[in-house]
Structure 1
Amino acid sequence: MRFQLTDDQRALRDGVRQLLARRFDAQALRAAVAAPGLDRALWRELGEAGFFALRLPEADGGAGAGLPEAVLAFEEAGRALLPGPLVATHLAAGTVPGAATGEAVVTAVDGGLVEWPAESDIVLGDASGAVPLRSVDPLTPLHRVPEGAGSRAPDPVAVLLTAAEQLGTAARVCELAVQHARAREQFGQPVGAFQAIKHLCAQMLVRAETAQAAVYAAAITADPVDIAAARLLADEAAVRGTRDCLQVHGGMGFTWEAEVHLHLKRTWVRAQRGGGTTESEELLAADLLA
């Protein structure tokens, strides 16, 4: 199976990256951390660009694209640490008025947690009695819902798009680690010249490349078992990659000036969404036993 992107897919990926670089750059990221809240103007701009309506048929006002294209878009969102309930709103396009255009912000109850309920126009599932939680990620407000409220099997597409976001983070922190290893000097030479740093960067790249192959393959097959495997690999690449990136940065990686700690916190939150480690492992085990 080949994973060479088509010209249209490259154009889509580059277009999303350029949009986010223009509208949610490092300065905007810092501003969002200092004053958390959803940028509704950016949300509508994403809608105008077709981010949420990407998989809707053209007759319904969408782009008529498929799951592989959605994966590319969400991978870029993961790279940029774009906040907000992107997956839930994307899945609601075509069924919830305003979701496709970015006029509505849609969240979903995921297990016992729901993201962004205070900011959202619509919360899917029974979120009555939601209690605010202190989130490890300053850009992702979390609320806990009563036990059993809104519980449902995770949507395979939601699982895959979360894996795509994790993949974007895995690729980004690998880049950050390499950039720092080249620029930071100790004992008269770049720290990247030391074997321990080389090994960390190499391991990050291998995990990211492996996860990318799995996520892209699952986007083509749309098989729940393939998606479960992709999610496990993407979660591992993101969580371990951000930890290794922290090691490369040393003590600086824990400071507010560094981007990497924000990626680490976001990977932790994403890893708790439906279809995470336990659920994906159970699905793979059941398939093997069958």
Structure 2
Amino acid sequence: MKIVVDSANGMGAQYFDELFKLVDADVTRMFWEYDGSFPNHEADPFKEENTEAIRAKVVEVGADLGITTDGDGDRIFFIDDKGHLVTPAVLRGLLAQIVLRDHPGSTICYDIRPGKITRDMIVEAGGIPSVTRVGHSLIKEQMRKEQAVFGGESSGHFFYAFPTGVYEGPVTVATQILQEVTRRGIRLSEIVEPLERYVHSGEINFTVEDKDGMMHKLTQIFSDGELTTLDGITITYPDFWFNVRGSNTESKLRLNLEAIDRKTMESRRDEIVAVIKEGA
């Protein structure tokens, strides 16, 4: 297997060096030297611009897949053989199904930000989906409370109920995905492309002083949708669904929206953006 890994000059290089001593793979290492100034790109793969280099390198060398991590190495992302980022919601669902093979009927936790494919895949695999508030400490707390075997956050944190506790497992994630690609005997792109059933807006941030007032206004405008107030507001319709939640430290609102197709996503996104900007 040919693999490209970008540690973003961060801590992921440390455990990948140990992992690849045990894996028969042709590994291309990118930005491997520790450097807290992050000279090549910001160590945040959640931002598309920070995966440009690895996406291009995967295609250039004809790799089977790419792996990239954030600065402290606890968040992990994958690039398929066509140079496309595997969305965290799809990756989370795939990992959930892998875990459920060994723990049938178990609870899987995931945060409330739109990523409906995760729920679809948990249910399809016979698991019990459990929605949590955003934040790694909150997901881990709910996992312990509900005795969940796996949990995933939209930002790229993935958690396991290890014998020693509930915490992030990026090496376990990498190992399970490499095993799954090998087991199926097909390209990573062939695994994930059928799972890209929905279109996501990405997270959009707004400066809003009266955060609660704006969320109340949105609930009035979209009052015919199904409302959930677990973390901010989540409003669901048959063809689109969105979450708006406030920052705990800033005067900001964060919008995440998902829909059944791009046209619906763009039109509904623009509609909600206009409402928020008008009242900001």
TM-score normalised to the size of structure 2? Answer: 0.28
Q: Which structure dedicates a bigger proportion of its chain to helix?
A: 1
| Higher RCO (Cα < 8 Å, 6 or more apart) | 1
TM-score normalised to the size of structure 1? Answer: 0.27
